[in-house]
Amino acid sequence: MLNLAAARAPAGPLAAVRFAPSTRFPLTAALLISAGLTLSTVATPGWADETTASPDSTGALPTVKVSAARDAETASPERVSAGALGNRKQVDTPFSTTVVTTEQGKDLNASTINDLFKYDPAVTDAGNNVTGENAFFSIRGLQIDMLNGVKVDGQNFPSWDTELSLEPFEQVEMLKGLSGFMYGFSNPGGIVNYVLKRPTDDPYRSFSIGYESAGVFSEKVDLGGRFGNDNRFGYRLNLVNEDGNTAEANGHVRRQVASLALDFRITPDLTWTADAFYQKRKTNGTLFGLMFGPGLGIPDPDSVTRELTQPQNFYQTEIASFGTGLDYRLSDNWHASLKYRFAKENRTNSDSLLYVENAAGDYQNTLYAAMTRYFYQNVDAMAQGKFETGTFKHDVVIGASYQTQQSEYDNSEGWNSGYSLGTGNLYSSTLLTNDEVHIGENLYRQEATSQTSLYASDTVQLTSRLSALLGLRYTQYRDKVYQPDQSVMSNYSANPVSPTVALMFKLDPYSTVYASYVEGLQQGGAASNTNLNYPQTYGPLKSKQYEVGYKSDHRNWGANLALFRVDQGYDYTNTANVYVQDGTKRYDGVDASGWLQLATDWRIMGGMMWLDAKAVDVDDPTVDGKRVYAAPRFTLTGRVEYNPSYLRALTLAFGGKYVGNMAVDAANTQFVPAYTTWDLSAKYETQVAGKDVTLRAGVNNLFNRRYWTTSWGAYVMPSATRTFVANATLEF
C-alpha cells in the first residue's frame, strides 16, 4: 500500500501558477549529443584483448591490460535473472535490461543505486541519500516500487525509503517496464534485482580504503574461498565501515554492513546455499522534502541557501535478512531450485518537511519523528528445462511462489501531525529547534499483504532464427489495512492472471529484434494524512505495456533500441487536495543506447530517451491531457573513456547527463527546470610487493550544478553538492 503518511504536508489545495519552462535547448545538451552519437548503457564491455585472461569467479579482471580490444567473456555480464523466465542471456530476452557489475560500479565511483545507473538514459534521479532520506529513481518516468520493485536474488525485499549497500552484491540487474508475469505485483516502472556475491572457487581477498568529501572515510573487506574435502564448502564475507562528515550542512553519515554467503556442494549436482545480510545507516542533515504552496513557482536552486536542515534532522534505517536454498541439476537439460528469504527493515526518521508559503521564500518547518517496520517472507520453487516436439524446441519454466509483507506504523504525534520547528526562509539560514521532539515506539500493525502465485512460460524455437514466448502467472492477492485499534479499515482481494507474449527474431547470434506485450497489477494507493479524504484506500491498478525493440552485443560495438507504450491507472492528488485514482497515465517513448570502440585507445558510449507521458481519460479537466508528474520529456547521456596504449594501466573517463524539465504536480502548475551534470574519473592499476593494487579517484557533479528533483506528485528535493571520491583496493 502506497500510504504517504510519509507524504507529509500541510493540508491545502495543490494549486499554483504554471512555472514556464525554458524552451531553449542548452549548450550542455548539445555537447552531450556530440559525445553520445553512439548510444550506450553502462553495462558495456571493459577494456581487454583476446588474450586477456578470463575473470575468476569473483569477477575480478587481471590487473594490467595489454590491449584495448574487447573480450566477449570478460566484458559485460551476458546473463540476467528474469524472474519467471529463469536465467537467460540478455540478448535472448524480449525486454529492456541493464546489468552493472561490482567492478563496473567501482569504475563509476558508485556509492548508491543512482550512481550505478547514472548513464542509462531511461533512469532519472528522484532523490538522494545525502540531502534526503534515500537514493531512488524512476525508469522511463515511472518510479521504482519501494514495496515490490526491489529484489535480492529474485526475491522480494523491504526497501521503503531506504537503499541497499552495493558492496555485498556481484551485480545489479534492472528490468525496464512491466514485470507482472516475471515477478507479480509491482509498479510498471521496472524491477531492480541485487545479485549476492557467492563463494569463489579460488581464494580471494581484498581490502579497500576510501574517502569522500568533506570527510567521509571507509574501510571494506571482501573474502572468499573454499575448504573441506574436495573444497565442497564455500564462503564469501563482506564487511564495510563508513563514517564522517558530508559536504552538506549538518551532514554526517555512519554506515556498517556485514554479509556472509555459504554453500555446500552436497553432490556434484546438488548445492545448498545460505546467506545473511545486515546493514545500518544513519544520516544527519536530511530533509523529507519541500512543498510549494498555491500560486508559487519553483525558485532557481542556485538562489536557495544550502543550510535548510536543522541539528535535529536525521534519518536511520536498519536491515537484516536471511536466505537459504537448494539448487539441483536434474539432468543436462533440467534444473530445479527451492529458496526461502526473510527480511526485516527498521526505519527511524526525524526529518523535516518545508512548506513554502509565499514568493519571498518563507516556510513552515514541520519535523516528523517516528519509527516504522517492515517484515517480508518469500518461498519460491522453480524448474527450468528444455525438450523438443518434432521440429520445435522448447525452453520452459514452471514455478510457484508465496510471499507475505507486513508493515508496522507509529501512532504517535511525531508520525501523525509532526512537531513544529517554526518558520524560516529559503534564502537565509535559521536555527530552529523543539525540545518536545522524541521518537515514538507505539507501533501497530498497519497493513498485511500476501501473494500466492503459479506461473509457467514456454519459449518455442519455431525456426533457427524465430522464436515465440508465452507466459502466464496466476496470483491470489490479499491485502488488509488496519486502524491503530486493529480494526480492519479496508480488505481487498484479487485473483488476476498476468500474461506475457513475445516474438523474437535473431539477426545473428548476437542480435535480436523483438516485440512483446505484458500486463501487470500494482498495489493501489491510499490518501495520506494531508489529504481531505484520508484514510481512503484503493484497489490495485492495472497496467499494459507494448514494446518493440532491438538489442545487439558485438565485439566492438553494442546497441539497444526500444519503442514502448505503457498504460497505467492514474493516482494523484487533485487541486481540491483529494487523493484519487482516475483515468490513465500513458507513457509513449523511445529508449536508445549503445557503445562503440573507436580505436584501441578510445571508447564512447551514450544514450537518449524521448518520453511523451500524459494523462488520458481523466475526469478532472485540470489534469486531463497534462504531462505526468516527475517524467522528463528528454534525457541524454554521454561518456568517453581513454585507455592510452602507452600506459594501459591508466583509464580516464569523462561523462555527463542532461535531464529535461519535469512537472511537480498532476495539474502542471509547477515545474522543476532541466539540468546537466558532469563527472570526471581516473583509474590506475599497478602492483605493490607483488600484490594487485587499484587506485581510483573522481569528481561527481564536477561543476557543482545545483538542481531540483521531484517525486510523488508534490515534492521537490535539492541536489547533492560536488563530491570528490578516492579509494585504493589491495587484492592479495
Instruction: Kindly provide the residue ranges of all beta strands, DSSP E only, lying in 330-442, ordered along the sequence.
Output: 334-356, 362-389, 392-410, 419-425
The residues with which 144 forms a beta bridge, in sequence order, are none
Averaged pLDDT of the chain: 87
Please give the Cα distance from 413 to 368 (Å, whole number). 8
Neighbours of 485 (CB within 10 A): 7
Query: What residues have CB less than 8 Å from 690, skipping those under 6 apart?
Result: none
Its domain, for residue 300, covers 2-731
Residue 384 pLDDT > 90, yes or no?
Answer: yes
Name the band, by pLDDT with cuts 50, 70 and 90, for residue 427.
very high
Q: Are residues 171 and 77 in contact, defined by beta-carbon separation less than 8 angstroms?
A: yes
Across residues 282-292, what is the average pLDDT? 95
- All residues at 6 or more sequence positions from 160 whose CB lies less than 8 Å from its CB, including other chains: 146, 147, 345, 347, 372, 374, 407
Top pLDDT among 29 and 579 is at 579
Name the DSSP class of 25.
P
The per-residue b/e assignment along 581-608, b for 16 or more CB within 10 angstroms, e otherwise, is: bbbbbbbebebbbbbbbeeeeebbbbbb
Residue 444 has pLDDT above 90, yes or no: yes
In terms of C-beta density within 10 A (0-12 exposed, 13-18 middle, 19 or more buried), how is residue 57 classed? middle
Query: What does the alpha-carbon distance between residue 144 and residue 189 come to, in Å, rounded to a whole number?
Result: 6
Residues 6 or more apart in contact with residue 469 via CB below 8 angstroms: 85, 94, 457, 458, 459, 460, 500, 501, 502, 503, 504, 516
Q: Is the pLDDT of residue 122 over 90?
A: yes
pLDDT (tens digit, 9 = 90+) per residue, 609-668? 999 999 999 999 999 999 999 999 999 999 999 999 999 999 999 999 999 999 999 999
pLDDT band for 332, please (50, 70, 90 cuts). Answer: very high
User: Do residues 661 and 673 lie in contact, with contact meaning Cβ atoms separated by under 8 Å?
Assistant: yes
Neighbours of 295 (CB within 10 A): 12
What mean pLDDT do residues 521-528 have?
76
Q: 615: Cβ–Cβ under 8 A, 6 or more apart, which residues?
A: 570, 583, 584, 585, 586, 623, 624, 625, 626, 627, 628, 666
Tell me how many domains the chain contains. Answer: 1
**In the predicted structure, residue 694 carries a pLDDT above the cut 80:** yes
Of 678, 725, 726, 721, nearest to 702 by C-alpha is 678
Strand partners, 155: 152
Task: Detail the DSSP E strand segments found in 189-311.
Answer: 190-196, 204-212, 214-227, 233-246, 252-265, 270-284, 287-292
Give pLDDT, residue 573: 83
Q: What is the pLDDT of residues 49-79, one digit of tens each?
A: 333 333 333 333 333 333 333 333 333 457 7
How many percent of the chain have pLDDT more than 90?
Answer: 70
- Give the residue-averaged pLDDT of 427-456: 92
When mean pLDDT is compared over 72-76, 244-248, 414-418, 587-591, the highest value belongs to 587-591
| Whole-number Å distance between alpha carbons of 425 and 478 | 46
Question: What is the DSSP annotation of 645-698?
Answer: TT-TTEEEEEEEEEE--EESSTT---EEPPEEEEEEEEEEEEEETTEEEEEEEE
What is residue 414's predicted lDDT score, i.e. its pLDDT? Answer: 85
Q: Is the dihedral of CA 572, 578, 580, 586 positive or negative?
A: negative
- The pLDDT score that the predictor gives to residue 77 is 59
- Tell me whether residue 298 is exposed, middle or buried, using C-beta atoms within 10 angstroms of its C-beta: 0 to 12, 13 to 18, 19 or more: buried
Does residue 182 register a pLDDT over 70? yes
Give Rg (Cα) of the chain: 25
Q: Where are the alpha helices (DSSP H) in 245-336?
A: none
Residue 253 pLDDT: 96
As a whole number, mean pLDDT of residues 117-141 equals 94
What whole-number distance in Å separates Cα of residue 221 and Cα of residue 207?
5
- CATH number, domain containing residue 279: 2.40.170.20
Cα 644–chain centre separation: 33
pLDDT of residue 110: 94
Which pLDDT belongs to residue 159? 85
Q: In what order do the strands lie in the sheet with 142-143?
A: 123-127, 136-139, 142-143
Which residues, other chains included, contact 65 with Cβ-Cβ below 8 Å and sequence gap of 6+?
A: 47, 48, 49, 52, 643, 648, 649, 685
**223: number of Cβ within 10 Å:** 16
Place of cell 491503530: 484
H-only helix segments in 119-241: 180-183
Single-letter code of the amino acid located at 582: D
Are the beta carbons of 39 and 643 closer than 8 angstroms?
A: no
Percentage with pLDDT > 70 across the chain: 89
Least confident of 250-259, 493-502, 715-724: 493-502
User: What is residue 82's predicted lDDT score, i.e. its pLDDT?
Assistant: 66
| Beta carbons of 253 and 211 less than 8 angstroms apart | no
Which H or E run includes 474? strand 466-482
* Residue that has been written with the C-alpha cell 508475469 in this structure: 181
pLDDT of residue 172: 95
Read off the pLDDT of each residue in 487-492 and give the average, rounded to a whole number.
87
* Cα 405 to Cα 160, 182, 188, 381, 446, distances in angstroms: 12, 19, 19, 19, 11
Lowest mean pLDDT among 63-72, 85-94, 379-388, 513-522: 63-72
Q: For 543-564, what is each residue's pLDDT tens digit? A: 899 999 999 999 899 999 999 9
DSSP collapsed to 3 states, 155-177: EECCCCCCCCCCCCEEEEEEEEC
pLDDT of 590 higher than 70: yes
Q: What span, in angstroms and rounded, lies between the C-alpha atoms of 3 and 1?
A: 6
